């Protein structure tokens, strides 16, 4: 007798539930759309209840589908863990971690070293926080250190740290001798700044603060490689605003300046995990606390 729930059916259900699109789910599963639609109908028939509401405009989870989704994630993760345990042959534990590109990597190095000392093998993916969240939800990462604020529905986030932004100026800048600078004093300088698509929630937060301080600089595109960005600043092509951890990156021709107190430009750093990974989150927090 064929069971009502099988791993293959759960994977197909999850693909549709996470994309809310039969076309995108079929692409993810590398199959065509008609057999996927038939498979979902067969699953609904076996369970005796619809899992999706669908019409020509939209696909949405029914209450039964909403109840099944977190359980399906947990079941498939347990199956993957069971398979990995059987095949491990005493190999070191491997942890897939995401690391936001918004902070300077040295912030993470002491944590990584402590993990490796305990026998963990790390696969680290550095990327923008919204992409890391998507990878986490798709099961491609076990956890991620992300920049906050980041829109991350369905993901558990634990705040670890907050860093003020600092101004990065050319060494010959008119304010280079100041200890502290105000945003309004920098309004005449071209600003290297990131595009909203890279980090929408943080971009919008900064835009509100810019408006409050009357800071309307001419924006020029920010290189994603921070070494290239610092080279651009050193060459006098504009200024930058970066989290304070980047002060560790020393380069001839630039100077870092604190922003005037009360400016409010800050970036948070948090651990993001799926809700059913409580033990992993506690383990990561112990390593972070050991760093501090």
pLDDT digits (tens, 9 = 90+) for 41-99: 999 998 999 999 988 788 999 999 999 999 988 888 888 777 766 655 544 578 999 99
Distance in angstroms between the alpha carbons of the first and the last residue of the chain: 56
Is the whole model's pTM more than 0.85, yes or no? no
Residues belonging to the chain: 292
Q: What is the pLDDT of residues 137-173, one digit of tens each?
A: 999 999 999 999 998 988 999 999 899 999 999 999 9
Domains of the chain, first to last:
7-82 (1.10.10.10), 94-150+273-291 (3.40.190.10), 161-267 (3.40.190.10)
What band does 117 get if pLDDT is binned at 50, 70 and 90?
confident
Distance of CA 172 to the CA centre of its chain: 36
CA dist 224 and 151 (Å) reads 20
CA dist 159 and 207 (Å) reads 22
Longest dimension (CA), the chain: 79
CA distances from 249 to 144, 161, 179, 227, 284 (A): 23, 19, 18, 9, 26
- Does the structure show a pLDDT above 60 at 290? yes
Closest CA to 170 of 152, 191, 146: 191
The burial class, CB within 10 Å (0-12 / 13-18 / 19+), for 139 is: middle
Q: What is the pLDDT of residues 262-281, one digit of tens each?
A: 999 999 999 999 998 888 88
């Amino acid at each position: 007798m064929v069971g009502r729930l099988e791993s293959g059916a759960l994977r197909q259900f999850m693909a549709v539930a996470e994309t809310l699109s039969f076309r995108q789910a079929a692409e993810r599963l590398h199959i065509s759309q008609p057999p996927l639609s038939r498979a979902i109908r067969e699953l609904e028939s076996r369970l005796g209840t619809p899992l999706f509401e669908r019409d020509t405009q939209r696909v949405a989870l029914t209450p039964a589908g909403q109840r099944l989704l977190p359980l399906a994630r947990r079941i498939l993760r347990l199956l993957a863990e069971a398979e990995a345990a059987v095949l491990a042959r005493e190999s070191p534990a491997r942890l897939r971690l995401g690391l936001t590109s918004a902070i300077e990597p040295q912030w993470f190095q002491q944590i990584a070293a402590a993990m490796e000392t305990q026998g963990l093998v790390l696969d680290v993916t550095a990327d923008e926080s919204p992409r890391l969240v998507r990878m986490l939800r798709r099961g491609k990462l076990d956890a991620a250190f992300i920049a906050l604020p980041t829109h991350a529905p369905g993901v558990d986030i634990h705040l670890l740290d907050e860093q003020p932004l600092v101004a990065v100026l050319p060494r010959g800048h008119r304010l280079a001798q100041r200890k502290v600078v105000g945003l309004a004093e920098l309004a005449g300088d071209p600003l290297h700044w990131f595009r909203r698509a890279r980090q929408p929630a943080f971009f919008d937060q900064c835009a509100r603060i810019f408006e409050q301080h009357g800071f309307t600089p001419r924006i020029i595109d920010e290189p994603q490689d921070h070494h290239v960005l610092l080279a651009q600043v050193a060459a006098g092509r504009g200024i930058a605003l970066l989290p304070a951890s980047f002060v560790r990156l020393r380069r001839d021709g630039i100077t870092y300046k604190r922003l005037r107190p009360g400016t409010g430009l800050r970036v948070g750093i948090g651990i993001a995990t799926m809700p059913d990974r409580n033990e992993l989150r506690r383990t990561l927090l112990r390593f972070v606390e050991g760093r501090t």
